[in-house]
Structure formats: C-alpha cells, structure tokens
C-alpha cells in the first residue's frame, strides 16, 4: 500500500470536493475529472420440456395418438412461446413520436449514463454514442455543461440523467400523464429518488473496497473508456490506487461501516419494494425499474455485482430486466 500512496496523493487532495452527477466544472484539474468519471464513472424451461409435461394428458391408441400428441405438443409450444413474448414484450413508442437524431455523450462505466441507456434501450430509441475522455473532455467542449450524460435530441441539449428521462418521456410517452396513474407515479418517483440519493452512493465503496477490486474496476473503465494507450496504463494503476483510498473517505461521508452489507441491504430493500411483483411497475418495468437496472448494470459482472446477486434476492429481478430491456438500440458507428 505504501508504494501506491505517491500515485494517489494528487487525487486524494481533491477527493473531498463536492461530488455531483457525472463530473465537475471546467476549473478542476485533470486528476479530479478522472476521479469523478471513475466514481460515477433462472434458466427458463424450454418449450420442448413443457411439451413433454403436456403429453401424458393424451392417451390415444396407435398411430393416431402420435399425430394428436404431436399436434398438441406443437400447439402448447406455440402458446408457451407466445406467453414468453408477452412477458418480455417491449413497448416501443409510436413511430411518429420517436426523435429522429439522438446522440449520447457519456462515460461507458458511468451509472448515470447507463440509467439513460436503459431507458433508450427499453423504448427502442436509436441513439449514437460519443465516448468522452474524462481528462480532456474535448468531446463536449462545445457545451457550457461540462458533465455527463448529455443527450442531444433533434438538436436540443438535455442534461442530468433524471431530467433527461423526464423530458424525453414527456415527448414519447404522453399517456403517462393521466390522473389515474397518480398513485403509481408517486411510488415510481420515490424509488427513482432513492436510486439517485442512496443506491449510487453505495456502489463506489464496493467496487473499490480493496486493491484487487479497484484494479478490476479500472480495467473495465479503461477498456471501455476513451483513453489513449499511455493514458490507459496510467489511469488503470494510478486511478485504482487513488480510488482505493477515496472509497474509504466515501464510507465515512455516507456512514457506511461495511460496504458489502450496505450493498446487500440496498439490494434487499429494492426486492422488498417489489413486494412479490415482477417489476415495481407490475407486469412491466417502469422508470424506477429502469433506473435501478441502469445504475447496477456497470457493476453486475464485477466481483461486487456477482456477490450482490449471490447473497441477495435481486438476481431474478435483474434477469427479468435484462430480458425486458433486451438488445441495445445503440447505432454502431
């Protein structure tokens, strides 16, 4: 650890500055920008096996039995497939409501950016991605807003992940504003705020809780981020060392004594909120489901995310969300 301290010192001197979504203003140093980027930077039963379960109900002699049973099995398989499609059916907006040109300026590992992407993917809104270099931020020099995510929608700039989703939702989901949905919307708003005010603050102390997990996290960050070769090497090791120490300060700031226990508690809090439902939205995801899924997606296959799924009941919901959100609607360059 003592060898890592000199690398970390430039970062640590700035680590206690107020942290806001996705980044900081233009007056901070490149090291602090890097820290901000890093910080926020059930097997289903097959239709064939269901068909075999269905077969004993038919008891016809001879060749006709094979025909009838075969038809019955085929019909059951088709019905089962239809049910699965209904469960995981997306809800793309009417084509006339879809924006024509959507560009997301992001950090790949940023939970707030991933929250926006979960919304775009679920509603099948095609979008382009510009990966922002967290040190130079040259990709967003044109904007007065120096944080990510930034979403350009038909030439209009939208900022702040929750505001982006609210404003874009008003454009493509006009039916959500009806009075009959007031109670459901209140619950949704409550849990979306919980994501922004609590869940995201539990993540960093977990993914940087020791040196090996910090290196694992920065390997993901540098592999998916917009870095030059030299930057990638420097950022991976210096950043991992710095964030290991910063995570200790974050634990104090947010009164976290045991980072894994806090992560598990947050996961179980969400599972309890579901109250037996497939999603908080009931039979289909709502904006709170998408928010939780989005911020957890960058850590899901890191050590912390694997531990979370292994030690809590969130795994089944997460798998349902993966199926519901489906393939990315990102437009490949």
**pLDDT computed for residue 185 by the predictor:** 86
Distance of CA 115 to the CA centre of its chain: 5
**pLDDT computed for residue 21 by the predictor:** 59
pLDDT at 98 over 50: yes
- For the chain, what percent of residues have pLDDT higher than 90? 59
Confidence band (pLDDT; 50, 70, 90) for 24?
Answer: very low
pLDDT mean over 111-131: 97
More confidently predicted of 34 and 321 = 321
What CA–CA distances, in Å, run from 241 to 73, 156, 176?
59, 39, 46
Q: Are strands 150-153 and 102-106 parallel, antiparallel or unpaired?
A: antiparallel
Model confidence over 170-208: pLDDT tens digits?
A: 999 887 654 445 778 899 999 999 999 999 999 999 999
Q: Which residues are catalytic?
A: 107, 110, 112-113
More confidently predicted of 37 and 145 = 145
pLDDT at 75 over 70: no
- For the chain, what percent of residues have pLDDT higher than 70? 71
What CA–CA distances, in Å, run from 272 to 90, 268, 291, 328?
25, 6, 16, 28
């Amino acid at each position: 650890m003592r060898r890592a301290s000199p690398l970390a010192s430039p970062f640590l001197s700035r680590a206690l500055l107020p942290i806001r979504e996705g980044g900081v203003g233009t007056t901070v140093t490149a090291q602090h920008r890097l820290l901000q980027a890093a910080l926020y930077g059930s097997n289903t039963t097959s239709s064939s096996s269901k068909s075999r379960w269905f077969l004993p109900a038919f008891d016809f002699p001879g060749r006709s039995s094979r025909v009838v049973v075969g038809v019955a099995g085929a019909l059951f398989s088709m019905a089962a497939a239809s049910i699965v499609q209904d469960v995981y059916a997306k809800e793309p907006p009417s084509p006339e409501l879809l924006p024509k040109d959507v560009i997301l300026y992001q950090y790949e590992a940023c939970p707030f950016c991933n929250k926006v992407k979960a919304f775009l993917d679920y509603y099948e809104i095609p979008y382009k991605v510009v990966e922002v270099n967290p040190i130079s931020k040259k990709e967003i020099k044109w904007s007065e807003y120096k944080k990510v995510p930034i979403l350009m929608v038909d030439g209009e700039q939208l900022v702040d992940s929750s505001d982006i989703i609210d404003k874009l939702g008003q454009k493509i989901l006009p039916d959500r504003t009806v009075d009959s949905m007031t109670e459901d919307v209140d619950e949704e708003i409550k849990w979306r705020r919980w994501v922004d005010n609590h869940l995201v603050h539990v993540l960093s102390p977990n993914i940087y809780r020791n040196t090996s997990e910090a290196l694992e996290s920065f390997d993901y960050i540098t592999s998916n981020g917009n870095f030059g070769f030299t930057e990638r090497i420097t950022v991976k090791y210096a950043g991992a060392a710095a964030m290991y120490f910063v995570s200790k300060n974050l634990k104090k700031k947010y009164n976290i004594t045991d980072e894994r226990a806090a992560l598990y508690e947050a996961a179980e809090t969400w599972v309890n909120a579901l109250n037996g439902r497939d999603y908080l939205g009931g039979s289909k995801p709502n904006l709170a489901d998408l928010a939780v899924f989005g911020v957890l997606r960058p850590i899901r296959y890191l050590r912390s995310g694997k531990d979370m799924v292994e030690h809590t009941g969130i795994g089944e919901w997460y798998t349902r969300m993966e199926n519901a959100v489906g393939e990315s609607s990102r437009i490949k360059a």
